[in-house]
Structure 1
Amino acid sequence: MAATESTIDPQQPVVALDDAAFGRACALTELPSGNPVSADNSTVVRYSGVIDAIWTIGKKLHGGTMVATSAAAAARGLRAAHPESAEMLPIAASTDFLGAPDPGRVDYEVRVRKAGRQICLVDVDLVQEGRTLVHTAFTFGRVDDAPPVYVPESHTDMPTEPTADAVAYGPDSPMRIAHLSQGASVAIDPIWARFLAGEQGKPQLRLWIRPRPADEQDPEVAVYFAMMAGDMSPPVSMNLGRFGWAPTVQLTTHLHRRPAPGWLRVIATTPEVGERMFVQDQLVLDATGAVIAQTRQLALIPLPR
């Protein structure tokens, strides 16, 4: 989750713009397996990759990006072991964050738990400097490939592209702690984001996000980007005046279909904000209005200042 401080660290990592910035984060190199069989006798395949400082919130890696790059590792490991699963995509992911990785090299340990005709199960540990910091259990299947038969009206009242008053992410914006604008175009709706005006409002937010052209044109990368977008919103609790780091305890991601080209819309809401924890739901819609992905995360309320 994109946590934003009321006083923002002015230090902004600058990385050369790349038309395939997200694709680079998803690029993997296979490593020697070392211990090829885990304790439960499942085969372990290892990959390495680099997630650079573009994909950070403050100084730490963005959670949704790590889910997406882990999905890329899971897909590669599954297809290598079971080529018949090539058409499957990660339709569900359950992620636990055991630590906060830094930008740079990360390794992935991939275990195929089940390979079936309809459903496959794959576990991925994201490892940095010998420590497992993120664990994700993936379910692979075939996504919908036809238009939805029903779309709620509440999904269609958000403009398909950023409005004229939308606040673009960037080094000079109030959202500059989120560095993802170096690798994608991101903007937030100020009508819903009352905290931007120093006000309070309903705990709900709306954003727009679009990958760079080369990432959008790569069908596989576009899928992983949509999964990442499900973790793009700042904490909705900010509209209640609760600023600061809202660490994610657990994140669940569902992938419904491949995205159409164009802007993705992210709608963040909550069923409840408590004193210790809150739940944040995020819908990711594409330019057609179809739900591409959705997430639910359990996060801790920032401590009062």
Structure 2
Amino acid sequence: MTHELDRTAAVTSLGAGAYAAHLDPGWVVGGGVNGGYVLAVATAALRAELAGVGHLDPVSTSGYYLSPSVPGPATVRTRVLRTGGRRSTVAATLSQEQDGVEVDRLTVLAVLGTVEAGGAPASDAALEAVRREPAPVDLPPVEECVSAADDPDGARLAPPLMQRLDLRLDPAYAGWAVGRPSRAGVVQGWLRLADHRPPDPWSLLVVADALPPVSFDLGLPGWAPTVELTVHVRQRPVDGWLRVRHATRTVAGGSFEEDCEIWDEAGHLVAQARQLALLPRAPRTPS
């Protein structure tokens, strides 16, 4: 059976580097379709374009969000900038028709190649000797974390995106859900896709933008539109739960940066990401 992400992010070749897609309403969050999912759709077209050379894993992917995507048909136009033995550099633009006019939603610059399994030793002993990566974030057991499904009203009112995920948030940074944010600028927890699709380098593009924004933990609920998102996939994850941590150190000028780290169930750091997002509007104080 085809998993939901593979089915809803699939693309069909139109020839000459162009691909047809359909952005599924199940990935809507805030004021548009989730940015990580849209990035995955555009990257699906890049993977299809490079299938002949076997470069299928997104090693480094940067997406620039030009306008909010909406559910419905989309077109991805790809361009191969360079093909090498180990990696290829490619670009893509995803657009949608709006009031009879084609509007660009996302432009992508990416490097695709092959990502090794987590923990695989480097081929060069000298490189392996200096190997280092941050230890997995310390989380309570999955059963002690907070799920939207724990609250019938919360599950009903959650955006469609949350129904695509099995997300268990660390209670220490989930107080924003009941009006008590920690104000540390952190959101972290366990995550897997709701249909238990095994994680792979491509699906990590979605995971990197799946948690609620850290602005929630700063006491600023509301949609936080992504301006730019870069994802570096470091290792191929093993099957199972992912540990995901989002944190911010800078909130200024109406925007914030959000750093993401993702570990697999074996404790390997499998991806890192950074995005720039706009702050939600502060709630109005009754006069």
SS of 2:49's equivalent in the other structure is helix
User: Residue 68 in 1 paired to residue 40 in 2?
Assistant: yes
User: Residue 51 in 1 paired to residue 26 in 2?
Assistant: no
For residues 24 and 265 of structure 2, the distance between their equivalents in structure 1, rounded to whole angstroms, comes to 28
Matching residue's letter, 1:211: L
In the other structure, the counterpart of 1:42 is none
SS of 1:238's equivalent in the other structure is helix
After TM superposition, give the deviation of residue 254 of structure 1 in Å.
0.8
1:139-150 residue pairs with structure 2 within 5 A? 139-147=111-119, 149-150=131-132
Q: Is the 8 A contact 1:207 1:265 kept in 2?
A: yes
SS of 1:71's equivalent in the other structure is helix
Q: 1:109 to 1:260 in 2, by over 3 A?
A: same
Q: Is the 8 A contact 2:185 2:218 kept in 1?
A: yes
Q: Is the 8 A contact 1:58 1:179 kept in 2?
A: no
Q: 1:54 to 1:191 in 2, by over 3 A?
A: same
After TM superposition, give the deviation of residue 59 of structure 1 in Å.
5.3
In the other structure, the counterpart of 1:152 is 134
TM-score (norm 2): 0.84
Q: Give every structure 1 segment of 4 or more consecutive aligned residues whose post-TM-superposition deviation is greater than 6 Å.
A: none
For residues 53 and 88 of structure 1, the distance between their equivalents in structure 2, rounded to whole angstroms, comes to 26
1:104-183 residue pairs with structure 2 within 5 A? 104-129=72-97, 130-147=102-119, 149-153=131-135, 155-159=136-140, 162-168=142-148, 172-173=153-154, 176-183=157-164
In the other structure, the counterpart of 2:193 is 211
Matching residue's letter, 1:257: Q
In structure 2, list runs of 5 or more residues that go unmatched.
121-130
User: Residue 280 in 1 paired to residue 252 in 2?
Assistant: no
Q: Is the 8 A contact 1:19 1:212 kept in 2?
A: no
In the other structure, the counterpart of 1:101 is 69
After TM superposition, give the deviation of residue 184 of structure 1 in Å.
3.1
For residues 174 and 41 of structure 2, the distance between their equivalents in structure 1, rounded to whole angstroms, comes to 29
TM-score (norm 1): 0.80
Matching residue's letter, 1:136: V
Q: 1:139 to 1:287 in 2, by over 3 A?
A: same
Give CA-to-partner distance per residue, 1:152-180, whole Å, 9 cap, x none: 34x25225x62334123587327944312
In structure 1, list runs of 5 or more residues that go unmatched.
1-17, 34-44
For residues 261 and 226 of structure 1, the distance between their equivalents in structure 2, rounded to whole angstroms, comes to 12
User: Residue 28 in 1 paired to residue 11 in 2?
Assistant: yes
User: Residue 190 in 1 paired to residue 162 in 2?
Assistant: no
What is the Cα-based RMSD across aligned positions, in Å?
2.4
Q: Is the 8 A contact 2:191 2:242 kept in 1?
A: yes
Q: Is the 8 A contact 1:19 1:215 kept in 2?
A: no
